[in-house]
Structure 1
Amino acid sequence: MNEKTRNYLISLQKNEITEYHIYTKLAKSIRSKDNAAILQRVGDEERRHYEIWKNHTKTDVAPDRVKVWLYYLISLIFGFTFGMKLMERGEVGAQTNYKLLSEEFPEAAQIAAEEKEHEMELLALLDEERLHYTGSIVLGLNDALVELTGVLAGLTLALQNTRLIALAGLITGIAASLSMACSEYLSMKNSNGEEKHPVKGAAYTGIAYVSTVFLLILPFLVFEHYFVCLFFSLVAAVAIIAGFNYYISVAEDLTFKDRFREMAVLSLGVAGLSFLIGYVVRVFLGVDI
């Protein structure tokens, strides 16, 4: 083989042995024996692919330690399902190269098929608790975004005082989060559908709600001009919507664009309408703070 092909095979080796170490390291750190076994099986596949390319290059290749720790930490923070699927998404472009290699190396076609189908099928078997409560997280997150962006926009014109706006928004947000958590608890407790723990569902809803409230109110505690605060609060809302929907699109293989657009339009639309209501109420009541 020529030097260019050999160097490319070495890069494939490095990627395969890196992913082997990621899957193996993660398999040793999670509690679920079933999930650990699945991750180890995928890791063993990566190790076997590494050995195939090594037979051609006759070279040992060290893993990318930075990438190993990066995806390991991502998986610990955001969940192993998200971390592993995010990593596999980055390998989509390799399918074309595998097809080109199969003309010279017949094993490439088999590796490509395993990378595309077998490993993703194994990853689909992963069972992670937080993904069972996605609906509860969406409930808390979406309700907080819609309600708090509207409240903050309305209070911005009605009060025109950052501290008062933050105080009113915080009280409203905390009260609403407790209300939503209780509603989710009762909803799950009386549900005849999929079995989920009501307390956990309520906790996911409440935590998602309170976290969103804090991020939306934070600009009013940092900046002085209320319009600047409102601007950064809306920016934070869009960032939360984008971040959460990207997470869900990766972890559950869903479409990002439509979900993001829907949530963004609802939140910003309510904020705009509330902004106008705040102005009308201020003028009508003649409030001047």
Structure 2
Amino acid sequence: MTAEQKEQLIKSQQGELNAVLIYQRLARITKHEKGEEVFSEIAADEGKHATILKSYTNEVLKPDGKKAKVVGFLYKLLGHNFVMGLLEKGELKSIDNYEPLKNDFPKIQQIIDDELRHAAMAKSLLR
């Protein structure tokens, strides 16, 4: 593993941990009829991704709740559709970060597949 790869894996691991809190918060505050179920499922997947990444980095990281608070605030202020658009873009952007790693780290493909599914799930919640 190169230093650059390790840095990207750690950054991604932190992002996945933060995403767990973001989706858990959204599951609690959403008014969308399927939102709680969808957000809870995505949160669980993001936790699995963090575990996969930890198996490569051997780093113990803690989630940062600040982003979850900001996303929750934006959800209340700007609304459901605005935040769904942000989440869809975020999931797709994460794929771009994972693509260069997938050949050296086989479990990354599973994460990519999940992130594609998450983007579709977020899009499905648009009203």
- Matching of residues 107-122 of structure 1 within 5 Å: 107-116=107-116, 118-122=117-121
Q: Which has the higher contact order (CA 8 A, sep 6+)?
A: 2
Q: Corresponding residue for 2:20? A: 20
CA distance in 1, matches of 2:114, 2:91: 12
Q: Corresponding residue for 1:73? A: 73
Residue identity in the other structure for 2:39: L
Aligned length: 127
- Deviation of 1:47 after TM superposition, in Å, equals 1.1
Confirm or deny: 8 A CA contact 1:81 1:123 kept in the other structure.
no
Task: Please list every run of 5 or more consecutive structure 2 residues that lacks an aligned counterpart in the other structure.
Answer: none
- Matching of residues 140-159 of structure 1 within 5 Å: none
Partner SS, residue 92 of structure 1: helix
Q: Corresponding residue for 2:8? A: 8
Confirm or deny: 8 A CA contact 2:16 2:50 kept in the other structure.
yes
- TM-score, structure 2 normalization: 0.85
Residue identity in the other structure for 1:14: Q
- Deviation of 1:31 after TM superposition, in Å, equals 4.3
Residue identity in the other structure for 1:110: Q
- Deviation of 1:39 after TM superposition, in Å, equals 1.0
Question: Judging changes above 3 Å, is the alpha-carbon distance between structure 1 residues 18 and 84 closer, same or farther for their aligned structure 2 residues?
Answer: farther
Question: Judging changes above 3 Å, is the alpha-carbon distance between structure 1 residues 15 and 91 closer, same or farther for their aligned structure 2 residues?
Answer: same
**Runs of 4+ residues over 6 Å off in structure 1:** none
Partner SS, residue 16 of structure 2: helix
Partner SS, residue 92 of structure 2: coil
Task: Please list every run of 5 or more consecutive structure 1 residues that lacks an aligned counterpart in the other structure.
Answer: 132-289
Q: Deviations over 1:50-91 (max 9, x none)?
A: 111011112221223322211111111122332132133134
Q: Corresponding residue for 2:95? A: 95
Confirm or deny: 8 A CA contact 2:91 2:118 kept in the other structure.
no
Q: Corresponding residue for 1:253? A: none
- Deviation of 1:32 after TM superposition, in Å, equals 4.8
CA distance in 2, matches of 1:83, 1:55: 31
Query: Greater CA radius of gyration, 1 or 2?
Result: 1
